[in-house]
Amino acid sequence: MTSPSPSVPPATAPHEKDVERRFLAGWPRLEARLAEVYGEDPRWATFIAALKEKVWAAAIARPPALRALDVQREASQDWLNLPGQGAYTFYVDRFAGDLPGVRERLDYLDDLGVHWLHPLPLLKPRPGDSDGGFAVADYRQIDPRLGDMDDLEALAADLRARDMGLILDVVCNHTAREHAWAQAARAGDPAYREYYITLDAEAAADRERHLIDVFPDTAPGSFTYDPDMGGHVWTTFYPFQWDLNYANPAVFAEMLAVLVFLASKGVQGFRLDSAPYLWKAAGTTSRNQPQAYAIVEAWHEALAIIAPSVVLVAEAIESLDDVLPFFGRDGRGCDLAYNNAVMTALWGALADADAGVFNRCLAASAGKPRRAAWLNYVRCHDDLIWNALAAYASPEDLARWSAFYGQGGGFSHGRAFQTAPGGVPSTNGMAAALAGLEPGEGPHSAGARRLTLLYGIVHALDGWPLIYMGDELGLPNDEAYADDPLRAADGRWLHRPAMDWSAAGRRNQAETLEAELFARFRHFGARARALAAQGVAGPARPVDLGSPAILAFERTEGAQNLLCLGNLAEAPVLATLPAPFSAAARDVLTGQNREGVSIELGPYELVWLVTP
C-alpha cells in the first residue's frame, strides 16, 4: 500500500497503520466536503494540499495515552447510543472555584452518576464582560482565574481513569475583539483582516435587513463600527464578539487546529457554540446555511482521522428541521445535538397539561440519523427560546407559554428575556423556579414533582441526559446578579447561581428536599443505564393514550419494550395501557410488577413500564 501523503514513509507500527487506514477512508470524504465550500476559491489548491499534510501529521502525533479510546470507540459502531451517558454542565468558577476545585468534586459527580462533564467556556476570555466566557481571547490558554493547561490535562486524565469524559466549549463562530487574530487585523495585517468580515455602511445595512438580532436590547444590530478596521465588523452577538469569516479557508484550518490541540490535552468532545451562524450569505438570515453544515461535517471527517474518539455537539437552538442537518449526511456530522425542540416543548406541555406539542416534536426528532444521539435536557445556561418552536406550535401557543413562564400568573417564577421584533420573549430562570418550586418547599411539593417529572422524562428518552448544575438540588434563581455591573444587563445570569455546597451536603440528610431530589436524579441515571441490560433500544416515539394530560412514549426496537408515562396535571388521571403493557408490565422506577389495563397516575407522577 502506498503512503497517502508523499512526504511520509509507509506505515509500519500499529498506530501508523491505524492512521493510514483512517486516512485512506476519511480523506476523500473530508476533501469532498471542503470542496463543496471552498472548491471554487482561488486559494483551494494551496489550502487543500497544506491541510492534507496537517491532518496526516496531527493523526500521527496523537498522544499515545489517548489512542486506546480512539481504537475502542471506532470498534463500537453504536457506542454513542449506549445508555448511561449522563452529562453535567456547569460554570467552573460557580461550581468549584477553579479546575483543581472541579477535580476535588468528582466524587460528588460520580455519586450523582454522570459520565460526562461539560464545563462552560474556560479558555482565556477577554477582560471584563466576556458573555460568560463566550468571547475567547486565546484558544490555547485556560482562563488564568480557573487554572492552566496542566490543570485541564489533569482533570481530563482523572476523568479518563474514572471512565468519564470531558466536553469543552469551542466558541467557533467568533473570537473576542482582543484575540491575537483580531489585533493583527486591526493593526492592518491583510491576512488577518480576512479572518473577519468588515463591510461599508451601505453593505452592512443591506445585510442587516435580513438578520435577526440575538440580543436586541443589550446588543442591537449585527455590526459594530471599528475605526481600525475601517468599517462595520460583523458581530452577531455582543460588539466585542467578532464573527469569524469562514469564507476564508484559513479560518476553517485554524479552528481545526484548535480542536486538535485541545483534543491532544485529553478533551473528548466539543460543543460547537453558535454553529448555525458559521456561514453568511447575502439576502438570508445567515443562519443554517448549507455551508455551515458542510463545515461541521468536515470537522467531523478530520477528527475521524485524527482523534476518532472525540465527539462534536451541535449547539443549534433553532427549529428542529434546521438542527437535524447538523448530524450530517449519513450521520457523518455532529455526533450529538441539543434536543432543544423536545426540551422547550416539555415546558410548553407542562404549562398546558397537554402533551400535544411534545408529541409533535418527539415524533420529528426521531428522524435523526441512527448513529447520532440527542442531548436531552431540561435547562441550560441560556434562555428558553420559544420562537424556536414556531414550526410546531401556533403563535398563540408561543405567546401563552412565554407569558406563563416569564410574566407570572402560572406556577412559574421565571422572567422574560429580550427578543427580536416579531418573536415572543424567551424566558430566564432555574428549572426549579420555572417548575414553581419555592425556596423552603419540601420534596413532595407540586414544584418538586414537576421538576422531577421533567428530569425523569429526559432520562427515559434515547440519547444522553444532561443535568444543569444545581437542578439536582432544586437550586433557586440567583437574584444577586443584578448587583454586579458586569452581569446586571444580561438576565440569563438569573439562572447561573453559585453552587450551594451546604445544600449539596443536605443530600445526606433524609427527608430534605435535596436528599429526595438528588436520590431521584441518581435513580433516573441508574435505571436508564439498566434499560440497556433489559434490552430496551431504539428511538422514543410518542403514544396517544387519549388524555392530553398524559405524556407517553415508547421505545420498541429492542428485546424489551419501554413505555414511559407522565401525568402533566396536578389532578390524578386514569390511563388505559396499550398492548403488550396491558397484559403485564414492570415499573422500572419502583421495581413493582403490575397487571391490568388501566393505571392511575397521581399528580405529576411518572412511570417507566417494561414488558416482563
Nearer to ligand GLC, 314 or 357 (CB): 314
| Binding map of ligand GLC across residues 416-455, x = CB under 6 A, - = no contact | ----------------------------------------
Considering 98, 273, 462, 478, which one is annotated as catalytic? 273
Among 213, 273, 297, 354, indicate the residue that binds ligand GLC (CB under 6 A): 273
Amino acid of residue 123: L
SS (H, E, C) 316-349: CCCCHHHHHHHHCHHHCCCCEEECHHHHHHHHHH
CA torsion through residues 315, 66, 252, 218, sign: positive
Among 47, 134, 293, 411, indicate the residue that binds ligand GLC (CB under 6 A): 134
Q: Catalytic annotation on 315? A: yes
The half-sphere exposure of 406 on its side-chain side, counting CA atoms within 13 A, is: 22
270 is a contact residue toward ligand GLC (CB under 6 A)? no
Among 382, 438, 441, 570, indicate the residue that binds ligand GLC (CB under 6 A): 382
Nearer to ligand GLC, 192 or 493 (CB): 493
Nearer to ligand GLC, 135 or 351 (CB): 135
Count interface residues toward ligand GLC (CB under 6 A): 10
Among 83, 132, 147, 465, indicate the residue that binds ligand GLC (CB under 6 A): 132
333 is a contact residue toward ligand GLC (CB under 6 A)? no
Residue 417 C-beta: closest distance to ligand GLC, Å: 12
Cis peptide before 425 (omega within 30 of 0): no
Residue 175 C-beta: closest distance to ligand GLC, Å: 11
131 is a contact residue toward ligand GLC (CB under 6 A)? yes
Among 130, 245, 274, 387, indicate the residue that binds ligand GLC (CB under 6 A): 274
Q: Report the site for ligand GLC in 343-372 (rule: CB under 6 A).
A: none
CA–CA gap between residue 318 and residue 100 (Å, rounded): 35
CA torsion through residues 398, 400, 402, 405, sign: negative
Nearer to ligand GLC, 381 or 495 (CB): 381
237 is a contact residue toward ligand GLC (CB under 6 A)? yes
The DSSP-derived string for 502-527 is HHHHGGGSTTSHHHHHHHHHHHHHHH
Report yes or no: 567 and 546 within 8 Å, Cβ to Cβ. no
Nearer to ligand GLC, 237 or 404 (CB): 237
Nearer to ligand GLC, 315 or 605 (CB): 315
CA–CA gap between residue 604 and residue 609 (Å, rounded): 16
What is residue 361's three-state secondary structure? Answer: helix
**Helices and strands in the chain, H and E counts:** 20, 25
Report yes or no: 549 and 569 within 8 Å, Cβ to Cβ. yes
| Among the listed residues 468, 379, 431, 452, the one whose alpha carbon sits nearest the alpha carbon of residue 606 | 452
Q: Report the site for ligand GLC in 287-316 (rule: CB under 6 A).
A: 315
Q: Catalytic annotation on 273? A: yes
State the residue for C-alpha cell 426549579.
Answer: 432
Q: Report the site for ligand GLC in 73-102 (rule: CB under 6 A).
A: none
Q: H-helix or E-strand containing 24? A: helix 14-38
Residue 273 C-beta: closest distance to ligand GLC, Å: 5
SS (H, E, C) 417-479: CCCCCCCCCCEECCHHHHCCCCCCCCCCCHHHHHHHHHHHHHHHCCCEEEEECCHHHCCCCCH
Q: Report the site for ligand GLC in 135-194 (rule: CB under 6 A).
A: 171
Nearer to ligand GLC, 487 or 507 (CB): 487
Residue 218 C-beta: closest distance to ligand GLC, Å: 10
| Among the listed residues 494, 345, 332, 488, the one whose alpha carbon sits nearest the alpha carbon of residue 413 | 494
Task: Choose the binding region for ligand GLC from 3-11, 131-139, 284-292, 369-377 (rule: CB under 6 A).
Answer: 131-139
CA–CA gap between residue 38 and residue 36 (Å, rounded): 6
Residue 179 C-beta: closest distance to ligand GLC, Å: 13
Considering 151, 194, 226, 315, which one is annotated as catalytic? 315
- State which residue has the least CB distance to ligand GLC: 134
477 is a contact residue toward ligand GLC (CB under 6 A)? no
Active site residues: 273, 315
Instruction: Return residues touching ligand GLC (CB under 6 A).
Output: 131-132, 134, 171, 237, 273-274, 315, 381-382
